[in-house]
Amino acid sequence: MMRHALNFVIISENKGVPDPDVLPIEEEKLLLEEALKDSFAHLPQHLQIIAEQTVYVINHSRETVTKHYMGWSAEDDTEYRLGDKSFFKPSLDPRDPRNGSIKVNLSQKFMKTIAIGKILGKKDTRVLLGMRLLVRSILAHELLHAYQYSTNPVQALSNPIPPSNDCRTNCPEGLCDLKLIEGTKRKIEYERAAIALQRSYVAAVEYEAFANALDEYEHTVPDKFEKGSLWWLVSGRHETSLSNYYLRQYVKEREKGREFGELLRIVYEGQYIPPVLVYEIKSLNDQIEMGNVLVNERAKERLARILSEWKSFCEDGTIILKSRLQDPLPYLASVNQRFNLEIQRCNRLIERLHLH
């Protein structure tokens, strides 16, 4: 049976402004089209359907993101409308309520990854395959997010709920909306599933070959990998190094058999566990004040457990979480403040218990 011709809708935000981090517009479109066609057959069937429905945007507008990470979809798209299940159509005005808002955004770093992988892959087929596997994994990850939000969208604590434009209103006095905590937890479950799918494409030999080729090329022509030069976004000295932060780290995490390493645990689970801990310490305090004997007997033990979990997301007593795409998460400031107040209250209550 003959397969139908694949036609992907690709939009570039490239304005033609000289920037060493940006490929020429026709080159980036061609590279992305080739990558999509290569990846299509390697996607699960339900994501193949999504792959032909969604629009792919080569992003140049979110500089702090497009120069550091590979891509994002509705889970982190500032243009996504909460609760929307429809896909963006470039033929309609983005402000038109009939238009959807789900799309896949791909970064300048992603485009440079494809470009340098093709160059280095001419000498070693393992390097070329390493690049293709990485690209397939990233596309699968973001297409799964598009699928998740087109079937069962979630609202998280980081989303400002209309008419507010500030997510801090989701946590009045540091007590976060319980439905939004559950929504955030589901959002992180979505991320866990997307990372698990992404890890399934990891191949240690090919990833290491690509990483080594990058390191060797940078050692040969280091000036081309300086900040402001052609290959800075894929440099080993970049904050999100392609060879280490992506390729080698992905291999390590897969070998350990987990979706979240320590950094990702803080980034993702830190979005909802600290708000949950605020409710736990408040509940403990309320029960002590009501004279619950069983609670009183184990108050110190429960307090120690809550503090230990809280400190795993903190530095010097303050939440250090900075989300991958939203830096920082404003609602956590009031969560942090409320937790410290409840800790002070708990210490006073426990001291009073021992005095009596």
In this predicted model, what pLDDT tens digit does every residue of 157-182 receive, in sequence order? 988 887 778 888 999 999 999 999 99
Residue 230 token pair: 């052609």
User: Using N-to-C axis directions, what is the helix angle for 178-199 and 273-289, rounded to 10°?
Assistant: 140
Residue 311 — very low, low, confident or very high, per pLDDT cuts 50/70/90? Answer: confident
Q: Kindly report, residue by residue over 9-20, the tens digit of the pLDDT.
A: 999 999 988 899
**Interval 36-42 mean pLDDT:** 97
Q: In what order do the strands lie in the sheet with 9-12?
A: 9-12, 55-58, 104-106, 71-72
Per-residue confidence (pLDDT) for residue 318, from 0 to 100? 55
**Interval 212-229 mean pLDDT:** 97
Residue 92 token pair: 């309609």
Distance separating the N- and C-terminal Cα atoms of the chain: 83
pTM score, whole prediction: 0.90
State the Cα–Cα distance between residues 39 and 124, nearest whole angstrom.
Answer: 20
Angstrom distances, CA of residue 218 to CA of 67, 86, 213, 248, 251? 18, 43, 9, 16, 21
